[in-house]
Amino acid sequence: MLRTLLFFTLTAFATAAEISFSRQIAPILIDQCVECHRSGKAKGSYRLDTVELLLKAGDSETAPIVAGKPDESELYRLIATHEEDDRMPKKADALPEKETKLIRDWIASGAKLDVADQKAPLRAIVPETEKTQAPAKYPRPLPVTALALNPTGSTLACSGYFETTLWDVASGKLTARIDGMPERILALAWITENQLAVAGGVPGRSGEVWLVNPSHPQERRRLVSARDCVLAMVASPDGKLLACGGADNQVRCFELPSGKLKWQTEPHADWIMGMAFSPDSQHIATVSRDRTAKRIDAAKGEIEATFTGHDSAVLSVTFSPDSKETLSGDVEGNIRRWDRNGDAAKDGTLRPGGRTEMLALGFLDAGTPLAAMGSGAVVSMDAKARKTKDKITLYGDRVNVLQVQRIDKLTRIITGCHDGTVRINELGKAEPVLQFLASPGW
């Protein structure tokens, strides 16, 4: 009997000693605690978005973690208490008993940290889980939610399911598939021939940004591991900066090609739905479900202007070719023009398609904005006359993404639709010069 009891006791200690902070504890803290205890939102002056900060006391001045003594560890006490007014997380269900016990056992066994850099974001230390494989053949066309042309204009990167697909622009043929990407890809930016940025995630669960070498896809690294989906991403025209934003309300800006974080800010009170870089690479525009649009200094991350002229969620944004004016589009079909100070332009409202979402915006030239809409229409507009100029193309479903390609005197409008179709239209031609379903197997 004594031998049996000793065996189970030793087994319990061995199990506790094997608990991994990075694989088992950090994911719990990320899911349950980081949202209220991070940069810009540190309740009780306590942060745990890095290991270094996790170990520092907040306003209570009580040590969050006391190795070997869970009952003296403030973090564990607040998680385990039955007093609802004190228990963490606030205004939410208590942690499952299994997770609470795991944290207790980790502290009891010495609170060991299998972390190389304690200053790194907590999300960055969690080992990557193996991603689901993309299907060899898609059972149905996948909505096109992101497109990006390579610098030579010969290859088009397209959103896929756990993958990015590459297509030949001349023929519409599939040329490559880059797997191991986010489940949903919502933004792409091709920076150089050897650097493609991929952004997306799983709504409500995770957000990711990757830098990948399309020629050697095994050469990749993750820039962002966020608590919610990355919905928008843009690269500066000079190729020196990459900015992204999404459902965690954060905007992050990285230096290229290094991928070093330059700055991070939270300019909106709700999801960031769209972003644009000014042609001079000096400014970033962001739009949000909070009904506002912002103009941000790309070098410093400081807000230069706020536009409040929308009455509904704002989905899309673009800069004028001279970088002075900004256009933003909302869910009610309005496109608003505003200046560098956030002031609305006189007679600056365009309504090219009635009450339908303005999903993507661009410019053909200084006086000719483009709009891709929820109605399936892609149109050019006369900004001065405030009316539709030409219908570029018409789909049977939402047009999620729009790009303009200029080759000498030739202008092409590349669009992606919710029905899985990609079209390339040339200015002046009624029919697309190329159309294909961007889903392998179709």
Report the 10 Å Cβ neighbour count for 175: 14
Residue 258 and residue 325 in one domain = yes
Contact (Cβ atoms closer than 8 angstroms) between residue 55 and residue 64:
yes
- Does the residue 86 lie in any domain? yes
Residue 152 and residue 240 in one domain = yes
What are the pLDDT digits (tens) for 152-161? 999 999 999 9
DSSP code of 44?
G
Based on the number of CB atoms within 10 Å of its own CB, is 404 exposed (0-12), middle (13-18) or buried (19 or more)?
A: middle
What are the pLDDT digits (tens) for 403-430? 999 888 889 999 999 999 999 999 989 8
Residue 235 and residue 265 in one domain = yes
- Does the residue 230 lie in any domain? yes
Q: Which of 165, 172, 133 is nearest to 148 (CA)?
A: 165
- Does the residue 133 lie in any domain? no
- Does the residue 247 lie in any domain? yes
CATH number (domain holding residue 244) = 2.130.10.10
Parts of the chain with a pLDDT under 50 = 1-16
Determine the residue type at 264.
Answer: Q
- Does the residue 130 lie in any domain? no
- Does the residue 351 lie in any domain? yes
Token pair 């991928």 is found at 259
Residue 65 and residue 198 in one domain = no
Residue 196 and residue 60 in one domain = no
Residue 38 and residue 106 in one domain = yes
In the prediction, which pLDDT does 399 show?
98
Omega before 321 within 30 of 0, i.e. cis: no
- What is the rounded end-to-end Cα distance, in angstroms, of the chain? 66
From 125, 159, 182, the end of a domain falls on 125
Q: Are strands 399-407 and 387-394 parallel, antiparallel or unpaired?
A: unpaired
- Does the residue 139 lie in any domain? no
Contact (Cβ atoms closer than 8 angstroms) between residue 120 and residue 51:
yes
Residue 314 and residue 432 in one domain = yes
- CA–CA gap between residue 208 and residue 293 (Å, rounded): 23
- Does the residue 140 lie in any domain? no
Q: What share of the chain is helix, strand, coil (3-state, %, to 5)?
A: 15, 40, 45
Residue 110 and residue 152 in one domain = no
Contact (Cβ atoms closer than 8 angstroms) between residue 316 and residue 348:
no
Residue 79 and residue 19 in one domain = yes
- CA–CA gap between residue 133 and residue 131 (Å, rounded): 6
**Structural domain that includes position 88:** 2-125
In the prediction, which pLDDT does 57 show?
86
Residue 232 and residue 302 in one domain = yes
Contact (Cβ atoms closer than 8 angstroms) between residue 255 and residue 262:
yes
> What is the C-alpha R_g of the chain?
25
- CA–CA gap between residue 29 and residue 183 (Å, rounded): 23
In the prediction, which pLDDT does 17 show?
53
Residue 199 and residue 322 in one domain = yes
Which helix (H) or strand (E) segment holds residue 437: the answer is: strand 434-437
Record the tokens describing residue 416, joined without a space.
């992606």
Determine the residue type at 188.
Answer: L
Determine the residue type at 258.
Answer: S
- CA–CA gap between residue 428 and residue 415 (Å, rounded): 16
Is pTM beyond 0.85? Reply is no
Determine the residue type at 132.
Answer: T
Contact (Cβ atoms closer than 8 angstroms) between residue 296 and residue 302:
yes
Residue 381 and residue 262 in one domain = yes
Q: Give how many domains the chain has, as a whole number.
A: 2
Half-sphere exposure of 31 (CA within 13 A, CB side): 13
